[in-house]
Structure 1
Amino acid sequence: MTLATQAQQTNAQASQTRERLDLEQVRQLAESAGRKIAPLWPLDSFVAVNPYLGLIDQTFSQASGYLGAIAGERTAMDHEWYAARWRDGRLARSHIERAVEQLGRPVAVETVIDALESPRATSTPVPMLVEKLDRPGSAPISIFVVDQISHFLAAHFDRGQAIWNAPDESEALYRAWREYTLIDRSAQAAGLGKARRYLRDVPVDPIEAIAWAIETLQLPDSVHADYLFAALKSINGWAAYCRYRLWGAELTGGSNQDLTDLLAVRLVWEALALKATDSAAIRREWQREIERHHEAIAAAQHEAVIDEVMLTATEIAFRDPVIRHFHAATGTRAEAGRPPVQAAFCIDVRSEVFRRHLETSFPGAQTIGFAGFFGVPLSYSRLGESTCRTHTPVLLNPGIEVADRVEGDEDLATRREQRVGNTLSWKQFKLSAASCFTFVESAGLTYIPKLIGDTLGWHTPAPPPDQAGLTDEERARVHPALATEADLDARVGMAEGILRGLGLTGQLAPIVLLAGHGSTTTNNPHRAGLDCGACAGQTGEISARVAADLLNDPAIRPGLAERGIEIPEDTRFVAALHDTTTDEVDLLDLDEGTVEPSKLAELRQALGQAGDLTRLERLVTLRENLNDNPADREAARKSVTHRGRDWSEVRPEWGLAGNAAFIAAPRERTRDLDLAGRSFLHDYDWRQDEGFGVLELILTAPLVVASWINLQYYGSTVDNERQGSGNKVLHNVVGGLVGVLEGNGGDLRVGLSMQSLHDGEDWRHEPLRLSAFIEAPAEAIDTIIAGNETLQHLIDNRWLTLLRLDDAGEVFRRRGHGDWVAETA
């Protein structure tokens, strides 16, 4: 057959494909592929995200097999990790037997035990065409394509880092990339010099461009959906960022086309590479491979089932001691009069450690766990800023607008704006091409003391965004307040919601502490990930201050009394901030004249003692040597302070590593249980929850957010290459605050760094799916789940395990609607 005849046949096939392709069908395929991608929040609001979010409508093992076969993604640890637990007794035959039973006996127990001694099969992903075009001794085309797209997107989405901005940042992503690539000559180095010529014939509309690429590649109909998803997975980081932009737009009723545009870019490169290299033989071989790929999916599904049995058995081994404790705690204790203090902390696992030690240091104190935004769904505008940022869980829309106010200094906002602007200008000057060499030559010696100070941790770390541009004295005069004063009835309603959510409808202490949390770190692009997830990756300070102001307002107390909530005259709500790096707790906006001095002194002493004990416990997990004295409290304080200020410290704290459980029950259920900082603790008493409105809030918001956190840590551990961000020492911030690259090129990285999960010798995070214990009637739980599709997917498809406690401390596992089975340890 002549080349001319082959060309005629190719053109005829392409023409027939064009007739078959319906643009609306292509649009739906693109939409479906994009929805399978999990969003990635930018660095200034970096929050944990379930990396499997787009696949939770499948069972865990189905999604695992699919990801392995399509993207080569691992969703379980190597068999050796489970085998090590088998050999040392942490994983027993009884655990495996119960796991097989729970999963409906998909495999035999002996099959799983035998698999422990065999290496896990390697998943083979859908082969992208550009990968088949790579040749030894030549520039790799697959790497070039990802780098070219990544460099373009870094400029297109830049948020202030670039010295020279893109010509038209408002232009649609695909159109902007097309214009950019038509003048970009970098493809020649990768052997794709003809690509620009072919690009001129590619449609300008992204959906038509996707159709053109499918036709050019002659993709069989049966692989369209999988190949489009694989294409997005090949540039997963930027796809995740585009998914975030779509998420944000839809949350406010809008739309965004960046994800579809990115898919068009990635597929067009596939087709351009094929045409530019004229590799018909490679295309035929590649098409045969992808047509056979359904066999790989079937094989991956079988492996995924065995992996899930091992995972489930390990989760059972973790849960058993907790369940035994609940069985022993057969009732709640009677209230012992008015407590001296009630302290509400975020449900974050780090708060569990501090709460436990505060209760030890302050007998009679009552601690409470609640989502760190304290039920105040606000958006917040900093002093000198004209835009608001969300300060609630990203699942919710803010309903209250808060802005900084300052009394007696109307020009402070302008001065702050100038200071921050000058800092950015100086930083930009240091980084500019015109000054880099002369700057080092002229200022290098003066930087020696700063470099030494930074290395030794002498300097105060860069302030968080809320404090930047303000002195301590100025910051003390800035106060968040409702941007638009709500009427009295609305404020009473907000206060009632806060108190009922916290369970504070009975006897109130003289001091009620509302402690948000944040983290002190230096030189850490992902610092927001260590702050409060319930506050959209910011500290909980603003939420605590706004809630305390509202609850201290004497005008609302009569209205609360009419609704059945009496606040004593001497009760004072005090905002606080718990620093999870140093475990110091700062009291905020406190008018000491309104609190009895002896009670305030007792609280401060107890907070200090609890901080000492918490630091000592945390430093053990950080393998910190306290001068050979593990109980040296002063050395512990100095150590954690140094870790937060040291620019070279790769793990100032462990964050939420180790998280594995969520417990919503009265505190008396867990007061005597050391949960080792592994459990989200949400206080909840269903007897005080008329209509189960609080239970619904807990299940649909805090539980879902905890699941996101849990699965982000899980995914970053089991496959850090694809769901984590690699080595944080190599991170480079891209696009201002868009994200990080590992090194100078490649895809945008998602998830957590290895240093946040591994201590250099062993994993600090044990990758387990969340075990959620809820003390509430089965009927109420089932009704809420039936009305929420997200909960149905998470629970019924085994992305978490839901368990219920009854009044006697018995534990029941949910198998389906109305189907609860007793769980024995």
Structure 2
Amino acid sequence: MTLITPITADLTSDAIAGAADIAGRRLAPIWPLSSFVAVNPFLGLADRGIDDAMAYVAKVSGGKMALPRAQYAEAIATGRIAPEDLDHAVTQMPDVARDGRELATLAEQPEPGAPETWQTMADLAAAETGQDWPARVTQQIAGFAAAYFDGGQAAWKPTCEGGLWEAWKAEATLDRSAEIMGISDARATIANLPASADDALVWATHELGLSHAALADYFTRLLYTISGWAGHARYRLWQAELAGGTETSLRDLLTVRLVWEVLLLPKANRGTWEAAKAAYVDAPKAGAGDRVALALQIAYEQGWQRRVFAELGQGAPAPAEDRPAVQAAFCIDVRSEVFRRALETTMPGVETIGFAGFFGAALSYRPLGAAEATARCPVLLSPAGEAADEANAELATTRQGRIAAKSVWTRFKQAAVASFGYVETLGLTYAPKLLAQSLRTTTALGQGHAGLTAAEAATLAPALDAIPPADRAATAATILGAMSMAKGPFARIVMLAGHGGQSLNNPHAAGLDCGACGGHTGEANARLVARLLNDPQVRAELPEHGIDMPEDTVFVAALHDTTTDEVALFDTAALVPTHGEDLLSLQKALRDAGALARAERSNLLTLDAGLSLDAAIAARAQDWSQVRPEWALAGCAAFIAAPRHRTRGTDLEGRSFLHSYDWEADAENGYGVLELILTAPLVVASWINLQYYGSSMDNRVFGAGNKVLHNVSGLVGVLEGTGGDLRPGLPFQSVHDGERLIHEPLRLSAVVEAPVEAMNAIIAKHDGLRDLLDNGWVHLFQMDADGKVAERYVGDLNWEPVEGGAVQTPSAAA
């Protein structure tokens, strides 16, 4: 097909491709269910202020990023937002109101009307014909994407060798669906499209008469109409670029969506289309309603900060140099805060430590019989080596055979014809199992995560071997330094506790596991690092790196089950002769701490009447109909990087990520650990926080909807019901208990004990971090030498004193 001459000189192929790239990167990647991790849904908008992002999100998706005004008004009436919080908000946004009293009055006014989203051709065709073309187009593309991206659930999928565009074009040329819906000659038009997706993108752009100024926003609007599958394609591009390559399915998917716009062109009013196109030229800016909403949100967040910050600085004094009874390192995950506090109660001599749950081991792990390895590290990183045990080939082959047989049986059950006979003939054989599960047959605590088998644990050896012997001591020293442990003192037992949750019939089960381990449990990482730190050669070389560790210090791997609050220790048999009494004391303290943690968490759980606390929690973990076996990271609101004694004894209610950090020790090394904390754990924590924020503010756009209605699509994600787009984010039940929001949507408040000048130097160096802070996506505070929150980052490397904190002069980078 001959391409139409460009309407404007700047509408070149490169310009169109560039706009498509910009649009694609405005979407957040969506990880598949097998490694589901929290992702900031506003990731691609971090380069603009949060108030302007509110206006932009409304235009491209109709989404909301603030609570209804009535909820802020209720918070004011109940004292959740105090008068001083409103006054503070006005100082931050003086253009919104004269004082806090006026801002409170604005909260009581009716909700302003939602701004209209930008119109697509499908929207205009619907208005003209009375038919729901947006839903039809989304369903058509989603149905194809589900088959194309299928991860093993379907018995058939389109040929993928030529990429998504080629596969869609081949199928759409034969599919009569569009013509049945009333688009005449759809197949002929598609058959004549260019073979190249890039050429087809140019063709469609010109057919629609789009201007250069409108392209990026128009393309973004189209991708938001299929944001679930587009988000998965964005994930594939993310992964490819992390490995140094690229991937075209996101661009191809945009081209498919744009072709549908061209197909609908005859069904829309041309005059209306010209007006709709013109609207895309004006970049949306925050209006008065957005500014009022943000000011009320600031007051809402200030109310929480004020209460919690008052508790900081009241913690235990700095520990003496005496050797602790035990050192227990947990993931910084907010659920660990509850257990750490409980363990410090049951074992007063323990020192708990917070560190990202992959423990510095960017591991790719392939269990025996698994077809592929999975990354056990934060999604911002690329794994350094793979752990797999080829020596156990016979066992692996046996397990693969079982998997293959199961796959054949599964496909038989799901086949179009066989499925009916299967249900009629064998369906009732499942009745006893379903009945038992429906009656919630309870499982005692202690029978959840069984851990890796001995053979599977042996697969960690190759990953250790992937570290050259000459580099192992340096690697160990780096890990200990990042955990602020390099200077000691070291306990006789140092426990490295990864974490994971347990649930049945839960597509989002990986979301209960460790995000720092790529949506898997942290057991493999903990056991690998413990093995490294116990290695005799490593221990012999550590003094060369300035680390003096007693000979009787041993590292023990563990796994914290966040659903049941049990902790299992691994690989302890060889330690019993020398550390038997220590292990017994630790195990008892862990059991007692688990009981305390379960009691605290039970306050937010609706537990079965008539069951003991332990039995009720065990039942939740084994109940296939349970929509919330645990609350996961709901409530997350703060990130604190400081020595543990700053927060020890403070009840942070399981709402804070806690990262151990000693800035004075780090200063000797040029603040390398601080840079790592601000650019990795803090960013990951903000992803988690903002996913919960988005799923709470507007679950329709940023969340996964009703969990009861979920159906898994292609093992990739979930649909709400039987069709439509893939759903992003968290299920409604993960943030709401049916009567109220359990997750308060608050932007993350990060508190770091470090000099302002050191933080400024790092912020100035990293554009992504600076965008998060300068544009209001994350609050950053400095903790002073007394453990008080003293200064607030206000953007452009400037700080101001915090009311009630130490009075200091606002600082700026030199």
* Structure 2 length-normalised TM: 0.93
Are the structure 2 counterparts of residues 171 and 295 from structure 1 closer, same or farther at C-alpha, using a change threshold of 3 Å?
closer
1:484 Cα deviation after fit:
3.7
- CA displacement 1:117-146 (0-9 Å, x = unmatched): 121431210011112212699652221111
**What's the CA shift for 1:292?**
4.2
Partner residue of 2:160 out of 169, 172, 190 = 169
Of the three residues 276, 283, 292, the one matched with 2:270 is 283
Q: How do 1:190-269 and structure 2 match up within 5 A?
A: 190-269=181-260
1:510 maps to which of 483, 492, 500 = 492
Q: 1:135 to 1:20 in 2, by over 3 A?
A: same
1:521 is matched with 503
Gap change, CA 1:693 and 1:143, over 3 Å in 2: same
Compute the displacement of 1:21 (Å): 2.7
d(CA) in 1 for partners of 2:94, 2:522:
43
Deviations 1:37-84, CA, capped at 9 Å, x for gaps: 111111111111111111111011111111112321211111111111
- Structure 1 residue 493 and structure 2 residue 474: aligned? yes
Q: 1:122 aligns with which of 89, 114, 118?
A: 114
What does residue range 776-791 of structure 1 map to in structure 2 within 5 Å? 776-791=754-769
Shift of the alpha carbon at 1:708?
0.3
1:691-712 Cα offsets, whole Å, 9 max, x none, are 2111111111000000000000
Q: Conserved in 2, the CA contact under 8 Å of 1:778 and 1:818?
A: no
Q: How many residues align?
A: 796
1:134 to 121, 126, 137: 126
Tell me, in whole angstroms, the C-alpha distance in 2 between the residues paired with 1:822 and 1:88: 28
The residue aligned with 2:620 is 643
Q: Which moved more, 1:550-559 or 1:332-341?
A: 332-341
After superposition, the C-alpha distances for 1:672-692 in whole angstroms (9 at most, x for unaligned) are 110000000001111121221
Alpha-carbon separation, structure 2, partners of 1:464 and 1:140 = 51
Matches of 2:3 and 2:278, distance apart in 1: 17
Distance of 2:404 and 2:357 partners within structure 1: 31
SS of residue paired to 1:320: helix
Distance 1:362 1:481, change over 3 A: farther
C-alpha displacement at 1:416, in angstroms? 1.7
- Residue of structure 2 equivalent to 1:670: 647
Kindly provide the amino acid, as one letter, of the partner of residue 344 in structure 2.
E
CA offset at residue 485 of structure 1? 4.6
Percent identity over the alignment is 45
Q: What is the rounded CA distance, in whole Å, between the counterparts of 2:465 and 2:694 in structure 1?
A: 42
Give SS of 2:223's match.
helix
From 744, 766, 769, give the equivalent of 1:766: 744
Contact 2:327–2:491 (CA<8 Å) still a contact in 1?
yes
Query: Residues 787 and 466 (structure 1 numbering): CA distance in 2 closer, same or farther, change over 3 Å?
Result: farther
Correspondence 1:560-599 to 2 at 5 A: 560-591=542-573, 592-599=575-582
In structure 2, the CA distance between the partners of 1:183 and 1:381, relative to structure 1 (3 Å rule), is same
Measured after TM superposition, the shift of residue 294 of structure 1 is 6.6
Deviations 1:704-748 (A, max 9, x none): 00000000000111111111010111111112x211111111111
Distance 2:405 2:327 in 1: 44
Give the AA of the match of 1:800: V
1:414 maps to amino acid = T
Aligned residue identity for 2:206:
E
- Once the two structures are superposed, the pairs formed by residues 394-433 of structure 1 within 5 Å of their partners are 394-404=379-389, 411-433=394-416
Q: Contact 2:363/2:463 (CA < 8 Å) preserved in 1?
A: no
Could you tell me how far apart the structure 2 residues matched to 1:464 and 1:586 are? 10
Q: Helix, strand or coil for the counterpart of 1:513?
A: strand
Moved more, 416-425 or 148-157: 416-425
Q: CA deviation at 1:194?
A: 2.7
Instruction: Say if 2:498 and 2:560, in contact at 8 Å, map to a contact too.
Output: yes
Q: 1:83 to 1:449 in 2, by over 3 A?
A: same
Asked if structure 2 preserves the Cα contact closer than 8 Å seen for 1:14 and 1:218, the reply is no
Question: Against the structure 1 CA distance between its residues 334 and 368, is the aligned structure 2 distance closer, same or farther, given a 3 Å change threshold?
Answer: closer
Match of 2:702 in 1: 723
Partner of 1:631: none
Distance 2:403 2:786 in 1: 58
**Counterpart Cα distance in 1 of 2:298 and 2:152:** 46
What amino acid maps onto 2:58 in structure 1? G
- Aligned-residue RMSD, C-alpha: 2.6
Name the structure 1 match of 2:812. none
SS in structure 1 at match of 2:752: strand
User: Which whole-Å CA distance do the structure 2 matches of 1:73 and 1:230 have between them?
Assistant: 12
Give the Å deviation of 1:212. Answer: 2.2
Q: Equivalent residue for 1:344?
A: 329
Question: Following the alignment from structure 2 to structure 1, what is the Cα–Cα distance between the partners of residues 467 and 743?
Answer: 45
SS in 2 for 1:515: strand
C-alpha distance in structure 2 between counterparts of 1:123 and 1:537, whole Å: 37
Unaligned runs of 5+ in 2: 805-814
Residues of 1 paired with 2:288 and 2:3: CA distance? Answer: 37
1:99 Cα offset (Å): 1.6
AA aligned to 1:82 is Y
C-alpha contact (below 8 Å) 1:361/1:609 kept by paired residues: yes
Aligned match of 1:812:
791
Per the TM alignment, residue 87 of structure 1 is displaced from its structure 2 partner at its CA by: 0.9
Q: Is the 8 A contact 1:68 1:124 kept in 2?
A: yes
TM-superposition CA deviations, 1:430-453 (whole Å, max 9, x none):
222232222222213322111112
Structure 2 Cα separation of the partners of residues 755 and 114 of structure 1? 32
Greater Cα offset, 491-500 or 696-705: 491-500
Deviation of the 1:481 alpha carbon: 4.1
Moved more, 13-22 or 726-735: 13-22
Pairing 1:316–2:294 present: no
**What secondary structure does 1:17 align onto?**
coil
Amino acid at match of 1:731: H
SS of 2:126's equivalent in the other structure is coil
- Per-residue Cα deviation, 1:462-497 (whole angstroms, up to 9, x for no partner): x999989x9x67667765542645333211011111
Q: Deviations over 1:599-645 (max 9, x none)?
A: 21111111011111111111111132554xxxxxx812111111111
Say if 1:221 and 1:477 are closer, same or farther in 2 by CA, change over 3 A: closer
Distance across 1 between alignment mates of 2:441 and 2:111: 48
**Structure 1 residues 228, 466: CA separation in 2 closer, same or farther (over 3 Å shift)?**
farther
SS at match of 1:371: coil
Query: Quick one: which amino acid aligns to residue 495 of structure 1?
Result: A
SS at match of 2:719: strand
Query: Deviation digits for residues 500-542 of structure 1, max 9, x if unmatched?
Result: 1222221111111100000101111111111100011110000
User: Could you say if the C-alpha distance between residues 165 and 224 of structure 1 is closer, same or farther in structure 2, counting changes exceeding 3 Å?
Assistant: closer
| 8 A Cα contact 1:724 1:750, kept in partner | yes
**Is the 2:503–2:622 contact (alpha carbons within 8 Å) kept by the matching residues of 1?**
yes
**Matched residue type, 1:792:** R
The alpha-carbon deviation at position 18 of structure 1 amounts to 7.2
Deviation at 1:428, TM superposition (A): 2.1
- Secondary structure in 1 matching 2:272: helix
**CA distances 1:4-42 after superposition (whole Å, capped 9, x unpaired):** xxxxxxxx9965627663111111111111111111111
Q: Decide whether the 8 Å contact of 1:79 with 1:120 is kept in 2.
A: no
Larger CA deviation: 304-313 vs 708-717: 304-313
Higher mean C-alpha deviation, range 564-573 or range 186-195: 186-195
What residue in structure 1 maps to residue 71 of structure 2?
A: 81
Q: Secondary structure at the match of 1:169?
A: coil
What CA distance in whole angstroms lies between the structure 2 residues aligned with 1:695 and 1:107? Answer: 38
1:694 is matched with which residue: 673, 685, 696?
Answer: 673
Residue from 582, 589, 607 that aligns with 2:590 = 607
- What letter corresponds to residue 788 of structure 1 in structure 2? H
Distance of aligned partners of 1:404 and 1:755 in 2 relative to their CA distance in 1, 3 Å threshold: farther
Aligned 8 A contact 2:38 2:515 in 1:
yes
State the alpha-carbon separation in 1 of the partners of residues 212 and 537 from structure 2: 67
Query: Alignment partner of 1:411: what SS?
Result: helix
Instruction: Give the equivalent residue in structure 2 for 1:97.
Output: 87
Task: State the SS of the aligned residue for 2:569.
Answer: strand
